[in-house]
Amino acid sequence: MPGDAHAVVVPNILAYATHSAVGIYDPGRHFLDLDDLTPSLVADALAAMVGHAQAVRRLDPAAVWSSINANYLPPSGASLVHPNLQSAHDAYGLTDQRLLAERSAAWGGGRGSYWAALAEQEAGGPRWVGNIGRVAWLTPFAPGGFHEVWAVVSGAADVTELTGDDCQALGRGLSRVLAAYRAWNLTSFNFGVTGGGPHAREHGHQVLLKVMSRSNPEPWYRSDATYFERLYSEAMIDLSPEEVADGVRARF
């Protein structure tokens, strides 16, 4: 992707999984507005994160649950204005990541892939957005957040199976979703890309991208809800329950 191939991947100083990394779209640019997140820039960042995921899997075959995620601006839970991505790779997965994998596997029973059936059911309907490559774009029938859009990657069961073409298709589609957000005067968002764990392929799982908007920035405002809470039903805390009890106990 000439001209926009700038992404780098570095270790995450606050690791949220056994293997956790940060992806930077372009180290030479401190801030990127929504219209700066071009298809090629987003695709390049996703491709870098996929390459890192593949390297992690080679080194640690037990890290079978992988995700690539983003908080954009403080209302999304981001601690930095500098746009970045974050990945997680471990043997446990995220709550809703596992739930979707389990539910879609249970749906099978000879009926094939739930995700393929979902894309086929929605194609051409009121929630259908379109196809780019082998990626189907749609809005969920039961959204978990504002302006939520999904992308389902046919043929890829895990993040590590995403091809360069898939990353370009996801980059193009995500950039178009963000362009719609900007047109609606929205500025903050979360997104996540997840695979289906150790049995993803045999259960017909397909890689899923979710993106949703968040509140617009206000002075001195930062949300404590990140992609963990909004996309995966994961509660993030900074102290263990025992440490909280120690601090409160002294006042009793």
Domain ranges of the chain: 8-249
User: Which stretches within the chain are classed as H helix?
Assistant: 39-59, 95-108, 114-122, 164-183, 227-232, 241-249
pLDDT averaged over every residue in the chain: 93
pLDDT digits (tens, 9 = 90+) for 42-85: 999 999 999 999 999 999 999 999 999 999 998 998 988 989 99
| Per-residue confidence (pLDDT) for residue 4, from 0 to 100 | 55
- Amino acid 102: pLDDT: 94
1 pLDDT more than 50:
no
Task: Give the full edge-to-edge strand order of the sheet including 19-24.
Answer: 8-11, 19-24, 84-90, 65-72, 188-194, 207-214, 146-153, 135-138, 128-132
Tell me the C-alpha distance between 64 and 113, whole Å: 20
Residues 232-246 pLDDT 10s: 999 888 888 899 999
Cα-based angle 14, 10, 27 (whole degrees, multiple of 5): 115
pLDDT, tens digit, 9 for 90 and up, residues 90-120: 999 999 999 999 999 999 777 889 999 999 9
φ and ψ of 104, to 5 deg: -70, -35
Q: Residue 67's beta-bridge partner residues?
A: 88, 194
- Give the residue-averaged pLDDT of 126-132: 97
Give the separation between CA 85 and CA 70, rounded to whole angstroms. 5
Q: Are 193 and 208 in contact (CB under 8 A)?
A: yes
pLDDT digits (tens, 9 = 90+) for 4-34: 568 999 999 888 899 999 999 999 998 999 9
Fold of 8-249: HIT family, subunit A (3.30.428)
Answer whether residue 3 shows pLDDT above 70: no
Higher pLDDT, 5 or 182: 182
For residue 24, give the H/E element and its range.
strand 19-24
Q: What is the pLDDT of residues 113-125, one digit of tens each?
A: 999 999 999 999 9
pLDDT value of position 2: 43
Structure tokens at 96: 């809703």
